[in-house]
Copies of this chain bind each other. A is one copy, B any other.
Amino acid sequence: MATQMIETSAPATRNGLDLVQMTQTVEAIQARPMLAQFQFRARNRWVNGGENRSTIRDFYGAGAEDASRDAAFEFTNGEPPVLLGDNEGANPVEFLLHALAGCVTTTTVLHAAARGITIRSLSTELEGDIDLHGLLGLDEAVPAGYREIRIRMKIDADCSEEELDSLLEFAKGHSPVCTTVCRPVPVVLERVRP
């Protein structure tokens, strides 16, 4: 992360991020690397058919259990009629696109702030291709997941085109969700006896 965060003449915030807190976070991690270890969590309960509901609240990070959330976030997965549901919610592969869009955006905004770049606007459109032969087990040669995901980003900022290209390449490579999608990440599924 760049040193431009620590200019004494810098504004207190850039892109809505507190630059002093950003700098302190980086310095704290450099002094005590274990502060960088986070564990995120979700609990989910099946409702019926393609409907299920998650609650998300606690996580571990920066050396402690977080206690900042008064209530849990709740999200409902559903399926459209063509996938045997009733649009009870967006479906899981759509939530994945939401997660990816948000993570690439936040990573871009964060590293822009660190580089002294002010972003005026940023929006994305995502699309991803899935072949149902995979999910349905009709062709074992077809992976069930996305074949490819494309992100089209519109971004307006106070820097050169070259600086924007460099920023976006860096953000793509350092976004946690994008990296989770682009690289193979082990998922362990363990059955717990009720």
Contact = CB atoms under 8 A, between A and B. Distances in A.
Of A1, A174, A184, which is in contact with the most chain B CB atoms at under 10 Å from its CB? A174
A183 to B, nearest CB: 6
A31 to B, nearest CB: 12
A97 to B, nearest CB: 4
Contact of A109 (B21, B49, B152): B49
Given A106-B77, A121-B194, A130 B82 contact: no
A26 to B, nearest CB: 6
Contact of A148 (B38, B41, B101, B185): B185
Given A144-B174, A146-B176, 9 more contacts: A21-B84, A38-B130, A46-B105, A52-B105, A56-B94, A92-B98, A93-B99, A143-B179, A151-B187
Nearest to A36: B132
Q: How large is the interface on A (under 10, 10 to 19, 20 to 34, 35 or more residues)?
A: 35 or more
A52 B102 contact: yes
Interface in A148-194: 148-156, 164-165, 168, 170, 172-194
B84 A36 contact: no
A191 B153 contact: yes
Of A124, A177, A189, which is in contact with the most chain B CB atoms at under 10 Å from its CB? A189
A152 B190 contact: yes
Contact of A44 (B96, B105, B185): B105
A38 to B, nearest CB: 5
A97 B54 CA distance: 9
A96 B177 contact: yes
A104 to B, nearest CB: 7
A44 B126 contact: yes
29 contacts: A1-B137, A17-B84, A18-B84, A25-B84, A25-B136, A29-B133, A29-B136, A39-B130, A40-B91, A40-B97, A41-B97, A43-B124, A45-B122, A52-B105, A56-B94, A56-B98, A77-B102, A92-B176, A95-B98, A107-B144, A121-B194, A130-B176, A145-B180, A149-B188, A151-B190, A152-B191, A164-B191, A182-B184, A184-B184
